[in-house]
Amino acid sequence: MHSKRLFVLTGLLLAVLLAAVAGCSVSTPTSEPVKPAPTEAPARPTPMATSVPEPQPQPAAGGRLQLAGSTTVQPLAEELGEAYMAANPGVVIEVQGGGSSVGVTSAGEGTVDIGMASRAVKSSEMEKFPNLQVFTIAYDGIAVVTHPDIRLPTLSVEQVRDIFAGEIANFAEVGGLDAPIVVVSREEGSGTRAAFEELVMATGGEEKLITERALLQQSNGQVKTTVSTTPNTIGYLSFGFLGPEINPVPINGVEPTVANVKNSSYPIFRPLNMLTNGAPDELAKAFLDWILGDEGQAIVAEKYIPVR
C-alpha cells in the first residue's frame, strides 16, 4: 500500500518538473527582433600567441678584409674598398701601406687577406712563398718630376738613369737652369723604386745604383711634398700623385699621361698587383672579381690604366 502511494507521488512530481521545463523553453513572439546579449571583445593576441610569425631580419652576407702593402696601390685600394663597402654594407675593408715588400710578405705569411705590390713579384719571393697568387688590377706610369722652378724640355731614359746615379749633377747639362741637382728617391723595399730601378736604372746594358746622396722618402706623397717644397729637386712617383705643385718631365719627348702609356709611347710603367696566399677565400675572391669587373675598372680608369 505504501509503495503504491510512493509511486503515485513520484509520478506527480515528475509531471510538475516537466511542465516547468517546457514553460521556460517556450518563447513569446514579439513584433521587435530579439537583440543578442552584448559580448566582450576578444582579447588582442600577444606576439607569442599570433598565428603569423614576425618577420625576422636576414643576416647580411659580409665579413672583414685586411689589405697591406704598396703605398701606390693604397689610395686606389681605399677608393675601391669604399665603393665596394657602399654596395655591400655587411663588408668591412681595411687598407694599410708599408710598401710592396711588406705586401708580398704579409700575403705570403697570411697575416693579411690581400697584399698589394706596385711591381712584379721577384723570383726569390716566389721561391719563399710558392703559393702566392698574383692579380694585376691596373697599370701605372712612373713620372719623373721636378721642383716648380725647374723646367726641362725632355729627358731620355738614359739621362734619367745618369741623373739618379749622380753622374749628371747640374740641370744645365740636360737643358735646364744652371743649378745643382738634388735627387729625391723612394726607400729600399718600395715597389715604385723597384720598378724604377728595373725600368730606368737597368737600361743601356749597364745597371746603375741610385746615388747615396739621394733624399729618401717613404711614400709617393712624401716624394711629392719634398720635390714641391725643396729647391732644385728631381724625383719620381706614380701617375696617381701628379698635380700642379710639381712639373712632370717628358721622356723621349712624350708627356707622362695615361693615354701615352696605353698607346705604348711612354716607356716607364709597371703593374699594380694584389696578392693572396693560395686561392682567395670567398670574400676576397668576391672583392677581386668586382675590382676586375666593370665597376671596379671604371674606378681604376679615373687615374690609372685598366687591365680590361
Domain 140-270 coded CATH 3.40.50.300: no
pLDDT tens over the chain, length 308 residues: 444 444 433 443 444 334 443 444 434 344 344 444 443 333 333 333 323 333 333 333 679 999 999 999 999 999 999 999 999 999 999 999 999 999 999 999 999 999 999 999 999 999 999 999 999 999 999 999 999 999 999 999 999 999 999 999 999 999 999 999 999 999 998 999 999 999 999 987 889 999 999 999 999 999 999 999 999 999 999 999 999 999 999 999 999 999 999 898 999 999 999 999 999 999 999 999 999 999 999 999 998 999 98
**Element (DSSP H or E) covering residue 108:** helix 100-109
Say which CATH superfamily domain 63-139+271-306 falls into: Periplasmic binding protein-like II (3.40.190.10)
- Angle between helix axes 282-291 and 73-87 (nearest 10 degrees) is 110
Q: Is the fold of 63-139+271-306 the same as that of 140-270?
A: yes
pLDDT at site 189: 87
pTM of the model: 0.70
What is the domain partition of the chain in residue ranges? 63-139+271-306, 140-270
Q: Which residue has the cell 735646364?
A: 176
Residue of 4, 17, 69 whose CA lies nearest to 274: 69
Residue of 190, 184, 57 whose CA lies nearest to 116: 190
